[in-house]
Structure 1
């Protein structure tokens, strides 16, 4: 394909068509080499996007707000977020491709940020960039992931807005609003887990709000694909303040680690303040939760059960939230 990178598996291995991401072929194992279609002619689809502003930056790279100008444009203004991740080694390429592949597996699922496409772009002289990249040196390459834009920000913005209200004027979020968001995040987790994936970094800054104020779970940078024979993993990753006890203790963990992250989010929404230390239920002052009905508090405690085997499952969370929303 003209103007795209194609990462291929060893010649004797057959191509798994289900793992192709918009011109980028994802390998099951480590990437052994990079084969460039029409070497020397890199024309990533940048011309389809007009960068408007930078939204933020982090360890991964930078995120930009962009307007789409492709031939298949549906409306007057199609806005997307482009996440640009600098890559310098084949190992880093593999990591970014895994994220894009995991996102592609969740296309069309409700309450998950919609993945549009992914591509490489050269940030330096094309031929020199290729030469350096293949030598595992500074390549001057970005891997770009194009995602749905959520104009109402993140749940972290909601929490910070509450924390910044002047003393005496702060009002608790309505319980049903919190429960509705918890229900939507649980629905997203159900789709993620059904796809044999773990998010592993669920926190307020990774949960977005679309134009209607509905949840969109995003940022799958450290998501994990589980094989069918093993529903547990041991890799120590995630944001420490939101890390489930079993992960923090380097024990095998599974989908329950994402439920713990949901519990941390719910707690922060109820307190309208961010967690500044690792969550421990026996250290939470009951007076802080007195404004909430007991069923809401019970759900919170079920999400933040230290024993992952006793922690609520996603289906139970959904049914409990359903009951409260119906009432």
Structure 2
């Protein structure tokens, strides 16, 4: 069931969570993203809680480099979140395009410009006592003017204070901190580690920690066996 104030134009993506749709707001034709998250009776409880968490967390942020929240509503089968549309897709899309086209890595200046935008976004998020926990290029969205916007807070964690610790192992393997890999309690520093991994990827178009399988990636992270940076970085 769609809301009359939003007209669906096309699907932007689909996954186990549901789908993301490009819509326009009927009152002013503004392009937005409608994220429809499956929350029907057959969906596991933790996935429903994740959808509700993202809806709640997004409302806490008002920052130029965090995807803007506009609206949310629920249907019998979905939690729907309306948010800012970023025309150039994700930073992961741009990295993939540079890799496939042979353009090569970003210059140091360009990489730092992108990265510092993300640092400012994470600073804003942490100031509101929220851990993102899944920082990666696929969760960074890009406007036509190449303005970076941090998004996808589905597994974010609210802490009671900046000195609190969390213990659940989540995130994408290539960007996990050693604390997450070894199962010890962690804090906001896990997001800072992920930021470092993103900067490495911008400068090399490769993951900071590689491996043939998940155990090898985890071992390399824990042992600090990072892929080398090019000269001049």
TM interval, short-chain normalised:
0.7 to 0.9
1:59 and 2:16 equivalent? yes
Shift of 1:230: 5.2
Matched residue, 1:289:
230
Following superposition of structure 1 onto structure 2, how do residues 6-155 of structure 1 map, counting pairs within 5 Å? 46-70=3-27, 73=28, 77-89=29-41, 91=45, 92-106=47-61, 108-122=62-76, 141-155=77-91
Structure having the higher Rg: 1
Equivalent pair of 1:160/1:274 in contact (CA under 8 Å): no
Comparing 91-100 and 109-118, the one that deviates more: 91-100
> C-alpha separation between the residues in 2 aligned to 1:228 and 1:282?
32
> C-alpha separation between the residues in 1 aligned to 2:108 and 2:125?
26
Residues 136-174 of structure 1, C-alpha deviation per residue, up to 9 Å, x if partnerless?
xxxxx11101110000111101210121124xxx34312
Matched residue, 1:24:
none
Equivalent pair of 2:129/2:162 in contact (CA under 8 Å): no
C-alpha RMSD of the superposition: 2.0
> C-alpha separation between the residues in 1 aligned to 2:51 and 2:225?
39
> C-alpha separation between the residues in 1 aligned to 2:227 and 2:163?
35
Instruction: Report the CA distance shift for 1:69/1:260 in structure 2 as closer, same or farther (over 3 A).
Output: same
Shift of 1:235: 0.8
What is the TM-score of this pair, normalised by structure 1? Answer: 0.63
Shift of 1:95: 2.9
Shift of 1:264: 1.4
> C-alpha separation between the residues in 2 aligned to 1:156 and 1:206?
8
Equivalent pair of 1:163/1:273 in contact (CA under 8 Å): no
Instruction: Report the CA distance shift for 1:79/1:163 in structure 2 as closer, same or farther (over 3 A).
Output: same
Residues 224-258 of structure 1, C-alpha deviation per residue, up to 9 Å, x if partnerless?
00013852100111112211110111111011111
Q: Secondary structure at the match of 2:200?
A: helix
Matched residue, 1:241:
174
> C-alpha separation between the residues in 1 aligned to 2:135 and 2:207?
14
> C-alpha separation between the residues in 2 aligned to 1:194 and 1:274?
28
Q: Secondary structure at the match of 1:117?
A: strand
Equivalent pair of 2:163/2:187 in contact (CA under 8 Å): no
Shift of 1:283: 4.1
Equivalent pair of 2:20/2:33 in contact (CA under 8 Å): yes
Instruction: Report the CA distance shift for 1:102/1:270 in structure 2 as closer, same or farther (over 3 A).
Output: same
Equivalent pair of 1:159/1:274 in contact (CA under 8 Å): no
| Runs of 4 or more consecutive aligned structure 1 residues displaced over 4 Å after TM superposition | none
Comparing 273-282 and 213-222, the one that deviates more: 273-282
Equivalent pair of 2:63/2:121 in contact (CA under 8 Å): yes
Q: Secondary structure at the match of 2:13?
A: strand
What is the TM-score of this pair, normalised by structure 2? Answer: 0.87
> C-alpha separation between the residues in 1 aligned to 2:207 and 2:98?
10
Matched residue, 1:9:
none
Q: Secondary structure at the match of 2:11?
A: strand
1:158 and 2:94 equivalent? yes
> C-alpha separation between the residues in 1 aligned to 2:19 and 2:197?
26
Matched residue, 1:20:
none
